[in-house]
Structure 1
Amino acid sequence: MFKKLEGIRYQLIGSYLYAVYFSLLIIALILFFTHSVIQPIWLSVEAIILALIVTALTLSLVGLYVMFRQGGNVKDRLQELSIFIATLSEGKFNATLLMKESKDEFSTLGHELNDLAHKVKGQVKSLERMAEEKSEYAKQAHLAATVEERQRLARDLHDAVSQQLFALSMMSQATSKIIDEKPEQAKEQVEEISQMALQAQNEMRALLLHLRPVHLSGESLHEGIDRLIEELKQRCSIQFKVDVDSELQLSQAKEEHIFRIAQESLSNALRHANASNIELRIKEKDLIYIYISDDGDGFNLDEQMNAKASYGLNSIKERCEEIGGTFDIKSKHGEGTYIDIRIPK
């Protein structure tokens, strides 16, 4: 209730009452001074008090009504501006704020916001054209990038899978030597070996996922993601829940960016999340909505986004921004990861 009293309507009412009572104080001082110094017959103390009470009640009641109505009008117009700004923040740059025929500050601000929305819409179109051009350049540079990608995969194999396999080999040899003398310790080491083997397997699946072509190669986005998920189902025990709109009408550049975003997100989940279930939804309404979640280990978002290991997340964010979209990610240790992406059509 007290928070509501902080609204613009009640601030206007408070300012009005302050002005009324301050004015009454000045009037009271003048009347009492006149009564004391000049001492007119008609001006008695009782008359002064009665006049002040009647004036205070009248001005307060009439003023409260007028200011409540006027404050409500100001509040409604501010709310219209707030809703319009929230609409723009969601990427709906086609929206237009309808303003009343007036020349006050609210109308001026509304026209400026409409101009801003128009300019941002033009910038988004420019970003889309740049994305189209970048897509063409990316195809031309694909052969040159192949060598670099092979080198990166070689480093990943050495840093992750190769080291894990070496550790498995060492632990297996150590376990074989103590299996008769210390069966309980050997059992624990076997379980640890099993976990390391599973992690190495997930690393290999993620690296194999990166070996897929970046482009859809003539497929629709729906077909490309379906084929990607089917391949993953054959290679791992993770449960996938996929819902992709089959009637998406997108440019080739946007389809390729969205496909790469999905590919990168699934790769991150396979390598780091240790998840049992992954959900992927792509829907078209007033925007393109992309939702990706897993029930894995989760992580500290602030630490991860600032770490060198966050290359995958930063790559997803950059791809999203290149086509004018917004990127939001939520994660917490033990509660999984949730990615929410919205891209203008």
Structure 2
Amino acid sequence: MLKRLNSVRYVFIRSHFYGVFLTLLILLSVLLGFYVLKEPEWLTSQAIFFFIGLFIVVSGLVSIYVGFQSSGTIKEKLDGMTTMIRSLAQGNYNAKIYMNSDDEFGHMGEELNELAGKLQNQVKSLQRMADEKSEFAKTAHKAATIEERQRLARDLHDAVSQQLFALTMMAQATERLFDKDPDRAKTQLEEITSMALQAQTEMRALLLHLRPVHLSGEPLHEGIQTLIHELEEKCQMDFSVDLDDTVHLSDGTEEHLFRIVQEALSNILRHAEATAVQLSLTSISDQVFLHISDNGKGFHVNQDKKTSYGLKTMQERTDEIGGTLTLRSKPGEGTYIDIRIPNQEADVDE
């Protein structure tokens, strides 16, 4: 309610009331001064207060009406600029605002349209740079492969190798306990099963990173579908997939989105403990939307986003192609990732 009273309409109405108040003080001073100095018979105190009361009522109603009427045009222009700014914030750089006026609002509208054009050109430049970077990445693929192998070797040693070593030690200890303490041996077998499943999940997540960095000429939706089929065969997880095969992006943008999907699925396998995953790729006008969600254990976004290498990588890749990434998650409520990418290929087709 208080925010509404601070809107443009009420600011105009208040300014009219200020004018009425000042006018009322002047009239009251003049009438009282005339009454004291001249004391005419027709000018009585009752007449003064009657006139003042009538003036307040009439001028108040006029102020409300004039305030609403005079602020209507300005409010419409401000609402238009607010909508324009919101569209730019959401990545819709093709939005335009038209104001048939030669005042300050008209100039502001022209500036906003010019800003939208500059942002659109910057997005095109970012995507062009992403394409160039993709070509450069292909030429440096051998060196990157060596580095990736070294990283995977470290991950295997730090995670899976240690877990397998612990499994071996626990299995040997359990074997010795079978005759002495069967109940304790059964408990340790359950722990061994749990650790084996965790090691298996870690291994699948690492193998996911061993896939080719590039789509090898495949369209984006086919590459994602192939990746999902592989995971469905290996993981006890339900996948709900909706991919729009009419989405056409530049090669560099598709490769970035493919790597984002890989990174997101790897994080789900390693950390989420989820049983169901939803993934959709859709195109609306000149915008492409990628949605990935799971029903896992979730996490505190403000705390873990700063320290997660995978989330940082997804954010960096989204920024490189001029997109926006929205991440929502709470402990016990799963994780939701929404990515919006301006599709400059759609402008070229048109």
Give the whole-Å Cα distance in 2 for the aligned partners of 1:177 and 1:28: 106
* 1:306 counterpart residue number: 306
Partner-residue secondary structure (3-state), 1:306: coil
Q: What's the counterpart of residue 280 of structure 2?
A: 281
SS at 2:180 equivalent: coil
Q: Distance in 2 between matches of 1:163 and 1:331?
A: 30
Whole-Å separation in 1 of the counterparts to 2:12 and 2:179: 86
Distance 1:38 1:175, change over 3 A: farther
Measure the CA separation in 1 of the matches of 2:185 and 2:140. 52
Is residue 296 from structure 1 mapped to residue 276 from structure 2 by the alignment? no
Give 1:276 shift.
Answer: 0.7
Question: How far did residue 162 of structure 1 move?
Answer: 0.7
SS in 2 for 1:284: strand
After superposition, residues 141-160 of structure 1 pair within 5 angstroms as: 141-160=140-159
The alpha carbon displacement at 1:157 in A equals: 0.3
- Is 1:116 aligned to residue 119 of structure 2? no
Q: Does 1:327 align with 2:325?
A: yes
Residue 78 of structure 1 deviates from its aligned partner by 1.6
Distance 1:7 1:188, change over 3 A: farther
Output the CA distance in 2 between the equivalents of 1:255 and 1:130.
Answer: 14
State the partner residue of 1:59. Answer: 59
Match of 1:17? 17
- Please, which runs of 5 or more residues in structure 2 have no aligned partner? 344-350
**2:139 aligned with 1:140:** yes
Aligned to 1:5: 5
CA distance in 2, matches of 1:30, 1:191: 97
Shift of 1:38: 4.0
Which aligned runs of 4 or more in structure 1 are off by greater than 4 angstroms? Answer: none
Q: Residue 71 of structure 1: CA displacement? A: 2.5
Alpha-carbon distance in structure 2 between the residues aligned to 1:184 and 1:74:
79
309, 313, 316: which is aligned to 1:315?
313
Equivalent-residue separation in structure 1 for 2:176 and 2:266 (angstroms): 37
Distance change >3 Å, CA 47–CA 281, structure 1 → 2: same
Whether contact under 8 Å (2:306, 2:312) holds in the other structure is: no
Cα-Cα RMSD: 1.6
Letter in 2 for 1:291: H
List per-residue Cα deviations over 1:227-282 (Å, max 9, x = no partner): 11111111111111111111112111111111111111111111111111111101
175-184 or 323-332, which deviates more: 175-184
> How many pairs align?
342
- Give the aligned residue type for 2:310: G
Residue 305 of structure 2 aligns to a residue whose secondary structure is: helix
Range moving further from structure 2, 25-34 or 77-86: 25-34
* Pairwise CA distance, 1:123: 0.7
Q: What stretches of structure 1 of length at least 5 have no aligned partner? A: none
- Corresponding letter in the other structure for 2:334: G
Moved more, 317-326 or 43-52: 43-52
Normalised to the residue count of structure 2, the TM-score between the two structures is: 0.93
Please give the per-residue CA displacement for 1:42-70, whole angstroms capped at 9, x wherever unaligned: 43323322222222222111221111122
Q: Percent identity?
A: 53
Deviations 1:294-328 (A, max 9, x none): 11111111111122xx1111111111111100001
Rounded Cα–Cα distance in structure 2 between residues aligned with 1:174 and 1:36: 111
Shift in Å, 1:86 = 1.1
Instruction: Identify the range of structure 1 (183-192 vs 81-90) with the bigger mean alpha-carbon deviation.
Output: 183-192
State which drifts further: 133-142 or 38-47.
38-47
**In the TM superposition, what is the alpha-carbon distance from 1:22 to its structure 2 partner?**
3.0
The answer to whether the Cα contact below 8 Å between 2:324 and 2:341 also exists between their aligned partners in 1 is yes
- Between the aligned partners of 2:76 and 2:95, the Cα distance in structure 1 is 18
TM-score with structure 1 length normalisation?
Answer: 0.94
By how many angstroms is 1:200 displaced?
A: 0.6
- Contact kept, 8 Å, 2:77 with 2:99, in 1: the verdict is no
- The answer to whether 1:240 aligns with 2:239 is yes
Which residues of 2 match residues 94-105 of structure 1 at below 5 A? 94-103=94-103, 105=104
Distance in 1 (CA, whole Å) between partners of 2:182 and 2:34 is 108
Counterpart of 1:259 in structure 2 is 258
Give the 3-state SS of the residue equivalent to 1:106 in structure 2.
helix
Match of 1:184 in 2: 183
Distance (Å, rounded) in 2 between the aligned partners of 1:323 and 1:43: 79
The aligned counterpart of 2:204 is 205
